[in-house]
Amino acid sequence: MHDRHKLTLDAIRAAIDSEPNPQRAMESTVQLLARHLTDYTWTGIYLLEGNELCLGPFVGKPSPHTRIPLGRGICGAAAAEKATIIVDDVNSDPRYLACSIETRSEIVVPIMAGNEVLGELDIDSDKVAAFGPDDRELLEAVAALLAPKIAKPEDRRAAALPLES
Ligand code: SME
């Protein structure tokens, strides 16, 4: 990972380690991602409730997609496949559910506990192909740090929460 990503991961690890409250750990995570990585124009967390992904804390413009069924959109695809999805050009991906017309690329990283999807990190960028191997490595590490914090169902009740970075 490049230094910027390493520093971001260190800051998020410190924030998550020192935050006993799961909701605040998620809030700090999306804020630190937005603050450290300027290409990340929308950073949010969706939490799986039944068969729907429900928007939790986010930094960026309000999204019309506060509830996404499994299998719909890039978000629903990543949760159904239990794998990270990177889309270099959202306008050429038929799965894409638009949040903002400025968005050009997207990465979605599932937050897993064993084989169970708890939720996911969803990041949009206004740049084409903004997300590479460093972003995948960083965000998969962040997802692994968050997973134990939100392992209990009562710790991941989603309420769409807009935040300042
Ligand atoms: N683009 C996502 C929907 C969520 S918004 O980007 C915040 C998707 O295609 O699933």
Name the token pair of 1: 């990972």
pLDDT exceeding 70 applies to what percent of the chain? 99
Rounded distance from Cα 149 to ligand 1 centre (Å)? 24
Q: Which of 101, 130, 162, 104 is nearest to 39 (CA)?
A: 130
Rounded distance from Cα 4 to ligand 1 centre (Å)? 25
The confidence score (pLDDT) of residue 11 equals 97
Taking a C-beta distance cutoff of 8 angstroms, is the pair 150, 47 a contact? Answer: yes
Q: How far apart are CA 160 and CA 122, in angstroms?
A: 13
Task: Give the relative orientation of helices 133-146 and 22-36 as an angle to the nearest 10 degrees.
Answer: 160
State the fold for domain 3-163: Beta-Lactamase (3.30.450)
The confidence score (pLDDT) of residue 109 equals 98
pLDDT band at residue 157, thresholds of 50, 70 and 90? confident
3-state helix, strand, coil in the chain (%, to 5): 40, 25, 35
Ligand 1, CB within 6 Å, residue ranges:
42, 44, 63, 65, 68, 73-75, 96-97, 99, 106, 122, 124
Q: How far apart are CA 112 and CA 102, in angstroms?
A: 30
pLDDT one-digit tens code per residue, 11-65: 999 999 999 999 999 999 999 999 999 999 999 999 999 999 999 999 999 999 9
Q: Which of 88, 90, 94, 106 is nearest to 42 (CA)?
A: 106
Question: Which pTM does this prediction carry?
Answer: 0.96
Rounded distance from Cα 97 to ligand 1 centre (Å)? 5
Rounded distance from Cα 96 to ligand 1 centre (Å)? 7
Question: What value, to the nearest 5°, has the Cα angle with vertex 118 and ends 63 and 108?
Answer: 50
How is the chain split into domains, by residue range?
Answer: 3-163
Residue among 99, 104, 131 whose CB has most ligand 1 atoms within 8 A, to mutate: 99
| pLDDT, mean of residues 118-147 | 98
